[in-house]
Copies of this chain bind each other. A is one copy, B any other.
Amino acid sequence: MRPLTIDRLNPAIRNVEYAVRGELAIKAEAHREKLKEPDHGLPFDKVISSNIGNPQQRGLDQPPITFVRQVAALMEWPALAELAPNVFPEDVVARARELLHEAGSIGAYSHSMGVPFIRKNVAKFIERRDGFPSDPNHIFLTTGASSGVSLLLSMLLTGPKSGILIPIPQYPLYTATIAAFHGNGLPYFLDESAEWATSPNDIAHAVAKADKDGIEAKALVVINPGNPTGGVLDRNTMEHIVRLCEEHSLVLLADEVYQENLHRRETHPFISFKKVVRELNSPVPLISFHSISKGVMGECGRRGGYFEVTNVSDPVTAEMYKMVSVGLCPPLSGQIAVDCMVRPPVEGEPSYPLWKKETEATHAALAARTKLMAQRLGALPGASCVDSPGALYLYPRLELPQKAVEAARAAGKEPDAFYALQLLDETGICVVPGSGFGQKEGEAHYRLTCLCPGVDEYVGALENFHLGFMKRYGGL
């Protein structure tokens, strides 16, 4: 019997990299376990996982939206409405009853695209948002946005001569999935000097370069608001992007999962690509992704989201249906939360005041933390930081001393990974090095979330570490 060694596995899988849960995250877990020992010897007493946008994780403890959890609890055990009659607000009871009537038991497989009733509600939400019709038959509920992205990439990539245009820096789901499906990531660079702006010209250059290399660009990924950058696209850029997709016959994959995470709505509003495509009367095939994991809900563990297909022919949509049917259906727990996201309580309903208070508190805290962290982290010597107008992250840039770069190389690490590892070992704070998201040669960054509640202590620890690191390697 030959053992199952790594070289007998699919080589495409070996090429996959996913830094958000890579070496740093694994080490953070090990530290967390070690902290349980009385004499752990670590110089911190808790691990803060700023590597991942996971608002409800222990230590961050962003409170869930009560309405969502009440509806879900009643769906789990409908008898509660009678057994605990005065515990649930009446709009919650009505919502759960309606969902139970329409969706059936949450223990049953639903339609593979998701419960039809919930898809209708998603369509109405999109119509309210954009002012254009939306068809429930063009909406697929998903197991988080990731599963939808993965489905689309698997369908669009046709082998090693095909590629997907991706922003750099990007969320590594894209590079990981493209690698798994034997495709090519075709990078275009975001402009850090202009709040991480997207340049349609750069995208056009990336298409031309792919063409020269014999690679067909099949689709363009745009993440808006950006991850890890937090950049928010302006309307003019969006129009250019749509025209560019027309010119080069690109499918537009719009990752819009942070559409509710806006810190400066007046100057940086969110505009959906659906709206722009419709207003331009463009034939560009568009797939737009949304999620319950971000926004103010932060219901990551439920695994829910949706995508809408626009300008996609019925036979292609039927192929998507076929593929999702192999996985049977997305989790009902996530589907229910999608319904709550697209149909929150409205003024006059009993749950509205609490819902408003909870969502506003979360929005305000995130905006305030983002601003404060951007200022303080960007003011450090050898660092700069764009003040993100959207999403959950900052992506500070580091100008590391030459000695640190050399020490990193000697340790076989990227310089920013070297920095992040020391940060973790000294403070218990886990971030993701920029090398995991992509950056220009010679640059160094790290992504961290703006979710930590005790922001003073948190930023203080980051500052102290940074100053110590810079001193240690002759940068101060």
Residues of A within 8 A of B (CB): 1-6, 8-11, 13-14, 16-18, 20-22, 25, 29, 52, 54-58, 61, 64, 66, 69-70, 72-74, 76-77, 80, 83-84, 87, 104-112, 143-144, 146-147, 150, 154-159, 173, 176-177, 180-181, 218, 245-247, 249, 251, 283-285, 293, 297-303, 311-313, 315-316, 319, 322-323, 325-334
Contact A70 B64 (CB under 8 A): no
Tell me whether A155 and B9 are in contact in the complex, defined as CB-CB below 8 angstroms, given that A4-B313, A80-B84 are known contacts: yes
Residues of chain B contacted by A154 (CB below 8 angstroms) = 10, 13, 180
Tell me whether A107 and B283 are in contact in the complex, defined as CB-CB below 8 angstroms, given that A4-B316, A331-B143 are known contacts: no
Tell me whether A315 and B6 are in contact in the complex, defined as CB-CB below 8 angstroms, given that A72-B77, A176-B326, A333-B302 are known contacts: yes
Residues of chain B contacted by A56 (CB below 8 angstroms) = 104-105, 107-108
- Complex Cα distance, B20 from A245, in Å, reads 37
Tell me whether A319 and B73 are in contact in the complex, defined as CB-CB below 8 angstroms, given that A54-B108, A84-B84, A303-B331 are known contacts: no
Out of B16, B18, B52, B331, which one reaches A331, CB within 8 Å? B331
Additional pairs, 18, CB under 8 Å, beyond known A4-B251, A143-B143: A1-B246, A4-B313, A8-B218, A10-B155, A10-B159, A13-B319, A16-B322, A16-B323, A54-B109, A56-B105, A56-B107, A69-B77, A70-B76, A72-B77, A109-B300, A110-B301, A144-B328, A331-B333
The quantity of this chain's copies bound in the complex is 2
Residues of chain B contacted by A4 (CB below 8 angstroms) = 251, 285, 311-313, 316
- Complex Cα distance, B75 from A195, in Å, reads 41
Contact B301 A331 (CB under 8 A): yes
Contact B108 A300 (CB under 8 A): yes
Out of B3, B9, B176, which one reaches A283, CB within 8 Å? B3
| CB nearest to A176 among chain B residues | B326
Residues of chain B contacted by A107 (CB below 8 angstroms) = 55-56, 64, 69, 297-302
Residues of chain B contacted by A245 (CB below 8 angstroms) = 1
| CB nearest to A33 among chain B residues | B116
Nearest CB of B to A236, in Å = 20
- Complex Cα distance, B66 from A249, in Å, reads 53
Nearest CB of B to A26, in Å = 8
Residues of chain B contacted by A80 (CB below 8 angstroms) = 73, 80, 84, 87
Nearest CB of B to A19, in Å = 10
Contact B3 A313 (CB under 8 A): yes
Nearest CB of B to A379, in Å = 32
The 5 A-B residue pairs whose C-beta atoms are closest, nearest first, are A84-B84, A333-B333, A21-B325, A301-B332, A73-B76
- Complex Cα distance, B1 from A66, in Å, reads 47
Contact B326 A249 (CB under 8 A): no
Tell me whether A18 and B326 are in contact in the complex, defined as CB-CB below 8 angstroms, given that A72-B76, A319-B13 are known contacts: yes
Can you list 28 A-B contacts (CB < 8 A)?
Answer: A1-B246, A2-B249, A9-B316, A10-B158, A11-B158, A13-B154, A13-B155, A18-B326, A20-B325, A55-B108, A58-B104, A66-B77, A69-B76, A69-B77, A70-B77, A73-B73, A73-B77, A84-B87, A105-B301, A107-B302, A109-B300, A109-B301, A143-B303, A146-B327, A147-B327, A150-B326, A302-B332, A332-B333
